[in-house]
Structure 1
Amino acid sequence: MDLPLVVGVDGSEPGMRAVDWATDEAALRGLPLRLVYASLWERYEGAALAEGLGRSSEQIMADTVVEAASKRAHRRDVDVRISTEVVPDDAVGTLLREGLNATALVLGSRGRGGIAERLLGSVSLTVAARAHCPVIVLRGGHDNQGGAGRHRRVVLGVGDPAHGSAAARFAFREAAERGVALEAVRAWRWSAHEPAGHPLTAGEAARLHEQGAMEVLDKALSGAVAEYPAVEVCRRTVEGTARTVLLDASTAADLLVVGVRRHDSHGHTGMQLGRVAHAALHHAACPVAVVPQRV
Structure 2
Amino acid sequence: MMQSPLVVGVDGSESSLRATDWAADEATRHRLPLRLIYATRWELYEGAALAASLGRSDTRVLGENIIGMAGERAQLRAPDVKVTTDVLPEDTVKALLRESRRATALITGSRGRGEITGLLLGSVSLALAARAHCPVIVVRGDDAALAGSHGRVLLGVGDADVDSAAVRFAFREAKARGCTLSVVRAWRRPSHESADHFLPEGDPARYYEVRAETVLDEALAAAARDNPDVFIQATTAEGSARKALVDLSAAADLLVVGARRREGQFGLQLGRVGHTVLHHAACPVAVVPKSA
Provide the TM-score with structure 1 as the length reference. Answer: 0.89
Shift of 1:287: 0.3
Shift of 1:223: 1.8
User: Which blocks of at least 5 consecutive residues in structure 1 are unaligned?
Assistant: none
Shift of 1:118: 6.4
The alpha-carbon distance between structure 1 residues 249 and 17, as it changes in their structure 2 partners (threshold 3 A), is: same
Tell me which stretches of 4 or more aligned residues in structure 1 moved more than 4 Å.
48-51, 115-118, 140-143, 195-203
Q: Are 1:184 and 2:183 matched, yes or no?
A: yes
The alpha-carbon distance between structure 1 residues 207 and 116, as it changes in their structure 2 partners (threshold 3 A), is: farther
Q: State the distance in 1 between where 2:221 and 2:162 align.
A: 14
Provide the TM-score with structure 2 as the length reference. Answer: 0.90
Q: 1:164–1:293: 8 Å Cα contact kept in structure 2? A: no
Q: Which amino acid aligns with 2:129?
A: A
Task: Note the alpha carbon deviations across 1:29-48, whole angstroms, 9 max, x for none.
Answer: 000000000011124538x8
The alpha-carbon distance between structure 1 residues 198 and 73, as it changes in their structure 2 partners (threshold 3 A), is: closer
Q: Give the corresponding residue for 1:74.
A: 75
Alignment of 1:218-257 (within 5 A): 218-257=217-256
Alignment of 1:74-93 (within 5 A): 74-93=75-94
Shift of 1:161: 3.1
Shift of 1:201: 8.8
Q: Give the corresponding residue for 1:165.
A: 164
Q: State the distance in 2 between where 1:70 and 1:286 align.
A: 24
Q: Are 1:108 and 2:109 matched, yes or no?
A: yes
Task: Note the alpha carbon deviations across 1:119-156, whole angstroms, 9 max, x for none.
Answer: 0000000000000100000126557346xx11100000
Identical amino acids, percent of aligned pairs: 56
User: Which blocks of at least 5 consecutive residues in structure 2 are unaligned?
Assistant: none
Q: Give the corresponding residue for 1:261.
A: 260
Shift of 1:271: 2.3
SS in 2 for 1:251: helix
Q: State the distance in 2 between where 1:118 and 1:207 align.
A: 40
SS in 2 for 1:271: strand
The alpha-carbon distance between structure 1 residues 80 and 269, as it changes in their structure 2 partners (threshold 3 A), is: farther
Q: State the distance in 1 between where 2:150 and 2:142 align.
A: 17
Q: State the distance in 1 between where 2:8 and 2:214 align.
A: 37
The alpha-carbon distance between structure 1 residues 173 and 102, as it changes in their structure 2 partners (threshold 3 A), is: same
Q: Give the corresponding residue for 1:18.
A: 19
Equivalences, count: 288
